[in-house]
Amino acid sequence: MTVILLRHGVSTSNTARTLAGRSAGVDLTDRGREQAQMVAGRLAALPIEHIVTSPLLRCQRTVAPLADKLGIEAEPDERLLEVDYGDWTGRALSELVSEPLWKIVQQHASAAVFPSGEGLAQVQFRAVSAVREHDRLLAEKHGTDVLWVACTHGDVIKSLLADAFGIHLDGFQRIVVEPASISVVRYSPTAPYVWRLNDTGTDLSTLAAISPHTGGESRSGPVPGGETGTTGSGDNGVTERPES
């Protein structure tokens, strides 16, 4: 069984550099809507049998063009919801870097629990459980290998990929998952295998933002929400380093 992990396109919160979390009404930007159409164009020719999505608007909007092309109704699953960032929800990233919890999120993610929210270890458990269950049910239904799509959020996908790579959750910040990127995991009876990672097609413009040869500067590294700390693709970005 093979799942395409699709992150939602650039959202209004991404461009505002705030931590959207589960805030209602966070929609895609014009760029995000373009990305959703491009994703549909890239994936519609594949033999996709099923689509599952986070119920949040930005994921529903991202997967809608693909679902329309395939004639498949996307199934919402709350286990693929964005992290419940609790009291951090809606706050500017530039403010959050000064919080003591920031360093824990960066360096010891398995111990990170957001105030009045959930822990990243809980996020990984629910997300992996959801993907494994959908895999099992699709296998039972079709009796053969199935290709399917799960549209969700940056930190959720990073936690799924950490599990697939067999690395500790504390290392998940080393994984980059950009808006509208796809990562592909094939689950076999013995182990998962990562076939694609952070695939955004042919656009490599974000690399220019971190290349020393172009005068670019490596920014903050990953931040909550699955962002990379660069601004090349419309992601959230902060100039402060989390270690400072």
Retrieve residue 182's tokens.
């796809």
Global pTM reads 0.85
Give every CB contact of residue 196 below 8 A, 6+ residues apart in sequence.
182, 183, 184
Tokens 């706050």 correspond to 91
Provide the 3-class DSSP secondary structure of residue 214: helix
Give the side-chain half-sphere CA count within 13 A for 33.
6
The per-residue pLDDT for 208 is: 55
pLDDT tens, the chain, 244 aa long: 899 999 999 999 999 999 999 998 999 999 999 999 999 999 998 999 999 999 999 999 999 999 999 999 999 999 999 999 999 999 999 999 999 999 999 999 999 999 999 999 999 999 999 999 999 999 999 888 889 999 999 999 999 999 999 999 999 999 999 999 999 999 988 999 999 999 998 555 554 554 444 444 444 556 666 665 443 333 333 223 233 2
For the chain, domains (ranges, CATH) are 2-202 (3.40.50.1240)
Residues shown for the chain: 244
The per-residue pLDDT for 167 is: 96
